Structure 1
């Protein structure tokens, strides 16, 4: 099996979905999404069997650009995250009636194609193209199918587009400079460059602007909460569950190995920014009245800790960051889907308008509670494995970092449980529409997410074994 089959399948799926018509589009999109997951599992089996599943061919002769795809353990972990969440996100949308459904489902598959390409790309220009292409579908998804006032939505989405596009231009400039030094943009050639301290500093800074905006890391986060709120829930899931992982993955794959001196020189500052995001996101989440915005700031806090782990520059930090990236992807998609279920019943996202759901929907209440506990890293859940590993890595850098980073557990437990109490418990509001318990498609979606969180929370070995060789290679490159 050729690794390019996965990209071809997702791209073909986007086109077939669009031309299948509004009525058939959801099922067609789900079929292609599940097929892509099957291909990803096939690639994983080939990798575990020791087969070479990389792909490279000359693409452009002048400049010397290759169409190079690298499917190592780290790439495969992110591809499996993408192709596992894509069908879940598509299936979660079955309860919505989208205008021009063929378009939004085609865009979801096209965005999955671009994100998989980003995780696979082993040539700088090819990587940059996939990175930028991923911005196009989410722009239209948020703009056309988003929530609230059209002008406010347009303003938020345009700000997001300009922010991320501007940051990417700095990264492109860095690649142009690196090409002049190496005569190639193949990642292996870039790893071999012997850059001066000043060169590494500027390359690192250029990459950082692109990644800090995408992740986001404060103070580059100002687009995030509003776009998460304004986007339709399927769009918010794509952004929080997968797209922000492009930035975190790129830090590990591209930024740290190419400019390790700069990473070491400013390690304390970078970890500090990540931990600042943990504390800031948690405090702001406490004050939110809109459920989606609260979850958006909760996500900001969690990715701040992931970034801090990555910038710890040790094996445990990078390993924990990848584990937490995957865990966060599933739990945040589950939480935003729970918020969407509530919105479908109550037609509001204002927390003060909710309450009394537990007595009407015990099944939904139980599943929502599990997702909340997973979010605050309850032992036996996947998030606990990732957060513990990251905090352990930070303790090797400075125990103060681990203590401050650990506030994400304390603050997260406080605002998430307070949110659960206000949303789910209490008396049923007068004149409020009765809350029907979860339907079959909603149950399947939430159970699938919960099953992943518990399985890998109890047995993370398959993922750690998959990513360990790639992480060891990157650590050795950082310490060269």
Structure 2
């Protein structure tokens, strides 16, 4: 029941949103239905633990061996909760933004939420692929219609990258389907398939490329900074806060448990790509003047660490990834909200044109400092526990031959992250005011409300992460037990 509602509510509300012509009305409708979805997600993680509430399995395409099968384990619950919390926060924080054809914009936003929820709860491979593509289509239109001046070229690149990756994954899904015992797309059938090691080796790359593009990992990252820069900030929040997690989620749900030989065989090369991306993105972020591009490259570095923790194969590292997917989503959305508030008031995202905001907008300054420091995993903030667990997993890995090198490189990336983050804080908030910021005003009540809620979450989850760790424990055990080499 719960996973069905998480899909049906945004789907129906998105379709009805096309019919609402008045801008304020469609904003109210979208916010109301997103809050309803959030409540259902909270019920799923907090109150309803019985399987009958968290699973659905009905006939869909019986001739193909595919069923409309949905389930929520601890990892799904966290990702659905993140998606449920993010949407109302995004709608409230961007309430004063105006869009032409606002009904279409908000309807597509809700349809994108439908695809995201479906990805996180699908337990049938064909259904997973269906929702994977469903999340991409609204994102394409949102970026190409409401984006910046270079939106057409940038969106085309984004679409081609992700679509090619999706086709590769589809080939892999179909191949495994024909080798299941009962010709089924069910997740259990995929988990029990027993493929030779050489076959798993090339199948690994079909799935890995699809997920690496979505995350994105180096060198498949080039679509991301431009797309984030050109997209409306509300869309960028969804892309970076939630959609990129689809790639990490896909690795944990469909690649690692199904193709363990492929993962063990190619784990070090994949981990090396993650590490190179972390260092590269950190150095590039240090050179940025545009806030959007800085945060975009920062996100590449943080997502690379999640990939690294998976490919070195350790249970504590995988649990750290699950925790960090949620926490990174909260932090990055908080950063995007601050960027949106700055750009809307001053008409620029360039740090060189800002400065002295702490004097004029103290509330905004406090929010930016806390969220930015959380993003670099300051102790007692939410990201610290996830990064600590991931680094612990990398250091103690028994599967990787180079885990000490990966550990050192990851540590360098964290130091670089602190450098460019503190530099951003210095340039935006302190020093003398510029001609643009001389008459700055502080943020509005609705904007303070969203950021205060996020800040409370950052501190509470940083001080007391136990609920997240307990919620993901069984999911970690189930996935990790499948990641050992199974030889035919």
Moved more, 183-192 or 100-109: 100-109
2:156 pairs with 155, 158, 169, which one? Answer: 158
- Distance in 2, matches of 1:221 and 1:469, equals 32
* Aligned-pair CA distance for 1:454: 0.9
> Structure 2: where are the runs of 5+ without partners?
398-402
1:204 aligns with 2:204: yes
Partner of 2:32: 31
Alignment pair present for 1:63 and 2:64:
yes
Partner residue in 2 for 1:263 = 263
**In the TM superposition, what is the alpha-carbon distance from 1:467 to its structure 2 partner?**
1.0
* Aligned counterpart, 2:81: 80
Equivalent residue runs for 1:217-256 within 5 Å: 217-256=217-256
Q: SS where residue 56 of structure 1 aligns?
A: strand
SS class of match (1:36): helix
Aligned to 2:368: 368
Task: Specify whether residues 271 and 160 from structure 1 end up closer, same or farther in structure 2 by C-alpha distance, changes over 3 A only.
Answer: same
Structure 1 residues 276-303: Cα deviation after superposition (integer angstroms, max 9, x where no partner)? 1111110000111211001100111100
Unmatched 5+ stretches in structure 1: none
Q: Any idea what the Cα deviations from partners look like across 1:389-446, whole Å, max 9, x if unmatched?
A: 1011000122332221122321111001101111111111136561110101110111
Partner of 1:111: 112
| Residue 128 (str. 1) matches residue 126 (str. 2) | no
Distance, in Å, in 2 between the alignment partners of 1:407 and 1:415 is 13
Query: Deviations along 1:329-357, whole A, 9 cap, x unmatched?
Result: 01111111111111111101111111121
User: Residues 310 and 47 (structure 1 numbering): CA distance in 2 closer, same or farther, change over 3 Å?
Assistant: farther
Corresponding pairs, count: 477
The CA deviation at 1:7 is: 1.2
Map 1:80-479 to 2 at 5 A.
80-147=81-148, 149=149, 152-182=150-180, 183-397=183-397, 398-430=403-435, 434-479=439-484
Q: Secondary structure at the match of 1:171?
A: helix
Paired residues of 2:201 and 2:266 also in contact (CA < 8 A): no
**Contact 2:310-2:318 within 8 A present in 1 as well:** yes
Q: Which secondary structure does the structure 1 equivalent of 2:84 belong to?
A: helix
| C-alpha distance 419-196 of structure 1, shift in aligned 2 (>3 A) | same
CA RMSD between the two structures: 1.3
Q: Which moved more, 1:100-109 or 1:210-219?
A: 100-109
Deviation at 1:60, TM superposition (A): 1.2
Work out whether residues 2 and 53 of structure 2, in 8 Å CA contact, stay in contact via their aligned partners in 1: no
TM superposition score normalised by structure 1: 0.97
* 2-structure distance, mates of 1:326, 1:259: 25
Shift of 1:70: 1.4
